[in-house]
Structure 1
Amino acid sequence: MTSRMFRRALVPLAALGLVAAVAAPASAGPDSVPGTAGATTVTNTPEPARPAFYEPPASIPATSGTIIRIEPPTLFIDPLGLSKYSLTATRLMYASKDRLARPIAVTGTVFEPKAPYLGIGSRPLISFAVGTQGVGDRCAPSRQMAETFTEYEHYLLQGFIARGYAVAITDYQGLGTPGTHTYMNRAAQGQAVLDIARAALKRPGTTLTSTTPIGLYGYSQGGGGAGSAAELASTYAPELRVKGAVAGAVPADLTKVAANLDKSLYAEFLNYALIGLSAGHGLDINTYLDDTGKAVAKRTENSCVFDLANSAFQNSATLTKDGRPLTAHLAEEPLKSIVAENRIGNRKPAMPVLVSHSVLDDVIPYAVGKQLAKDWCARGANIRLSTNGVPLHIGGVAPSLAESFAFFEARFAGLPQVNACWAIW
């Protein structure tokens, strides 16, 4: 049986959740696990040479959150490097798990202010889930912050750092490390967010401890990462003292998000999702794509968010063998079950959550965020939905961030969030 035949044989079972989460070797094999040594891309497109730091060891620790290696970045979060006088910054590789609980190596960055924390209690940690960066290794936040100063969310970090918080930013599975980034894979993203918090508490010289209060923050893809982490925290990382989560513009229902993206300015995000879900679920995308689609997928492998124009207003029907849009295939197996597995809202967060979304979001429909809040409320979670009218997806970032400051200050001070599920109609 060839590797490709083996992957195809696994797809129906994996999509239905019938493949056991057994321990598999943390190395490239028939399913080529992203974040392991020698992993390949789903399009078999060679990845550009990466810095040695991002090459995983042959054996990855089974204990999630274990630090594999650390190094100081060459730059901090300002072009002149002046922040080095007020911050410690560490680039690290740490152990996490993929959706089948197989060990993977993930990279990221941790920032910690040098000045004593002046707030109530001990210094908090924000595990910051970044928004869409792209899928190419060069897009990894830790590389952009340390090498090119192009990480567009760096200004969001500064608000938390100015409050004396430590901040940990994951690169997610396969972003920076070998293999295709598993974009939009719910479990892998949430686990990476929680595991970098674990790693941050173990960083040499840190003032953080096992009792450090933790907050989860993210917007867009990061909203999905933070939302998934909020759902998983009580079972996956019960030792972490997660006090609250802020999840903005969450792509909770990929079917509805995909329908909104097709033929839009942000159609490249649909390409990211196709290869990302394929990488996470062992799906052979050649089953669906014609020659044009295969060429687009190969190009996408090294794409960053700044390359959106490459596929702007793309009609996915022009990429498929049968001439139907990719959204039509999402309603059929195995993609139907894959999308269902990655739905956020089916598990109850154990901590208070602030859900933020703009009614004028042009990327992730407001109805998706509102339904997520209702789904969590139906499961008995403590939720507040904050609706704003700032135009566009990008515009919704500012109110989400601004509200997060007061939210986390209250949670870290031990104040309860008043459950506002009653106000969500």
Structure 2
Amino acid sequence: MAGVAGVVICLGVALATPALAEAGEAPGTVTNVVELTGRFRVDGAATAQRLTYWSRGPRGPMQSTGAIYVPPGPPPPGGWPIVAYAHGTTGIADQCAFTTEPRVYYLDSLYPELLRAGYAVVISDYVGLGTPGTHPYLDGPSQARSVIDGVRAARAVAPELGTRWAVFGQSQGAQAALFTAHLGPADAPELQLRGAAATGPPSNLDLLIPLAGPWIPRLPLEKTPAYVAMLLAGLRASAPELDVDGYLTPTGQEALRVVETECITEANARLADVAIGEMLAKPLDDPALWAAAKAMMRIPTDGYTIPLFVGQGLTDMEVPPPLTAKLVAELSLSGTDLETHVYPGDHLGAARAALPDAVAFLHRVLAPA
């Protein structure tokens, strides 16, 4: 689940009604703008900027950073349509913010492809990544609001952007994209959210929470101990009433320390040989803990008013295909406008293979009415 300037909920209530922002903290309010230079520039971008803006975390206002790339030339009638890119897992430590280090595939391939297609590109780092507070990992609602408020922030500094937009995400960002699709139309009625494309979305993970305990061995999946540690670290910071520390062994405490200080690649190298069961002193079967996990991670399977695209790799060892198959089946049964593609590759390979199909989907949903 994959240097420039500068969970998870209070059960039910904080998620449904985030604390009111104080003056100057309204969602999308920009507090800093810097030009992106050097390796952070993108071929085909007339302007490139990094923003700091206010968004909404699990319990109220939090800041996020992000970036905006605008195509060259005069905008079309109504302004440039926007693709908000929701990135995959980088880690939860501040130095892991997605826009603070050059990422070759995105800067050289993905963003230029979207710019050539005639879209402005907006990226959110999500709240707590490079900004005060702990990033609430896999808290879908707060990640979605980071994306929505990133679009608001981008339009505040780039008036040539229009109101038509879509969200496109991979892995953690795919989960964020689907939550954005569900929340966005009502959350930002001043914008026209037209569709959401998601590749490798982690889903149905909350169903595993009450089954987890000291008996879980090492699993034949990739990065699982690091992912679990990041999830628990976000819960510990955002919902202290759950007493996450009480579920952890000394090995678990050390795992959380690792993910709070190192990014995903380094954390995975440190934790690859740790079994999830070694991290847990007792089962995670507290109903309050399960309710918190469900509220943050359970991707809605009905109630969508815009089209969705879901792509999945058959050899994905980070987001196993059976979990996505369950999600797709439930979305289909609910009558969601859904386009589904399966690719032969792994987690990242499938995401790259899906790009032409995802761009075609974006063209379809973002076409002028």
Aligned-pair distance for 1:382? Answer: 0.9
Partner of 1:193: 147
Identity of aligned residues (%): 28
Which residue of 154, 160, 169 corresponds with 1:207?
Answer: 160
Q: Which residues of 2 match residues 62-211 of structure 1 at below 5 A?
A: 62-77=25-40, 81=41, 83=43, 86-100=45-59, 102-116=60-74, 122-144=79-101, 149-150=102-103, 153-154=106-107, 155-204=109-158, 206-209=159-162
User: Partner letter of residue 104 of structure 1?
Assistant: M
Distance 1:257 1:112, change over 3 A: farther
Q: 1:287 — aligned with what?
A: 246
Matching residue's letter, 1:321: A
Q: Cα 1:360–1:188, aligned 2, differ >3 Å: closer, same or farther?
A: same
Change (3 A) 1:384 1:269: same
Deviation at 1:153, TM superposition (A): 3.7
Q: CA deviation at 1:232?
A: 0.3
CA deviation map 1:127-151 (0-9, x unaligned): 110011111111101211xxxx246
Distance 1:121 1:201, change over 3 A: closer
Question: Is contact 1:189–1:225 with CA below 8 Å preserved after alignment?
Answer: yes
Give the counterpart letter for 2:172 in structure 1. Answer: Q
Contact 2:18 2:56 in 1 (8 A): no
What does residue range 197-276 of structure 1 map to in structure 2 within 5 Å? Answer: 197-204=151-158, 206-209=159-162, 212-255=163-206, 263=219, 264-267=221-224, 268-276=226-234
What is residue 3 of structure 2 aligned with on the other side? none
Name 1:316's counterpart in structure 2: 276
Measured after TM superposition, the shift of residue 354 of structure 1 is 0.7
- C-alpha displacement of 1:412: 2.0
* Structure with larger RCO (C-alpha < 8 A, sep 6+): 2
> What residue in structure 1 maps to residue 236 of structure 2?
278
Partner of 2:256: 297
Pair 1:397-2:351 in alignment? yes
- Aligned-residue Cα RMSD (Å) equals 2.8
One-letter identity of the residue aligned with 1:344? I
How far apart, in 1, do the equivalents of 2:98 and 2:157 lie? 19
For residues 3-42 of structure 1, the aligned pairs below 5 Å read 14-15=10-11, 17-18=12-13, 24=19
The structural deviation recorded for 1:189 is 0.5
Provide the C-alpha distance between the structure 2 equivalents of 1:87 and 1:262, rounded to a whole number of angstroms.
48
In the alignment, what sits opposite 1:49? none
Q: Output the amino acid matched with 1:229.
A: T
Q: Is the 8 A contact 2:52 2:63 kept in 1?
A: yes
Deviation string 1:321-377 (CA, Å, 9 cap, x unpaired) is 24xxxxx41x43222111211200244221111111122211112122222223333
- Compared CA separation, residues 92 and 288, structure 1 to 2 (3 A): same
Q: CA deviation at 1:266?
A: 0.9
* Cα distance in 2, alignment partners of residues 257 and 250 from structure 1: 16
In structure 2, the partner of 1:54 is: none
Is the partner of 2:326 in helix, strand or coil?
helix
Name the SS for the 1:218 alignment partner: strand
What are the superposed Cα offsets for residues 171-225 of structure 1, whole Å, 9 maximum, x if unpaired?
1010011222111001100111111111111114x4113xx32011001001011
Shift of 1:87: 2.6
- The one-letter code matched in structure 2 to 1:114 is P
Larger radius of gyration: 1
How far residue 278 of structure 1 moved from its aligned partner, in angstroms, is 2.9
SS in 1 for 2:70: strand
Say if 2:126 and 2:146, in contact at 8 Å, map to a contact too: yes
Q: Quick one: which amino acid aligns to residue 288 of structure 1?
A: Y
2:309 maps to 354
| Alpha-carbon contact 2:62-2:133 (below 8 Å) kept | no
Match of 2:4 in 1: none
TM-score normalized by the length of structure 2:
0.86
Provide the residue aligned with 1:363 in structure 2: 318
> Partner letter of residue 92 of structure 1?
L
Q: Which runs of 5+ in 2 are unaligned?
A: 1-6
CA contact (8 A) 1:111 1:167 kept: yes
| 2:63–2:132 CA contact under 8 A, matched in 1 | no
Q: Distance in 2 between matches of 1:277 and 1:253?
A: 17
Q: For residue 124 of structure 1, give the secondary structure of its aligned residue in structure 2.
A: strand
Q: Is the 8 A contact 1:141 1:151 kept in 2?
A: no
The 2-side partners of 1:261 and 1:346 are apart by 31
3-state DSSP of counterpart to 1:386: strand
Distance in 1 between residues matched to 2:322 and 2:150, nearest whole Å: 31
Please tell me the residue identity of whatever aligns with 2:31.
Answer: I
1:251–1:257: 8 Å Cα contact kept in structure 2?
Answer: no
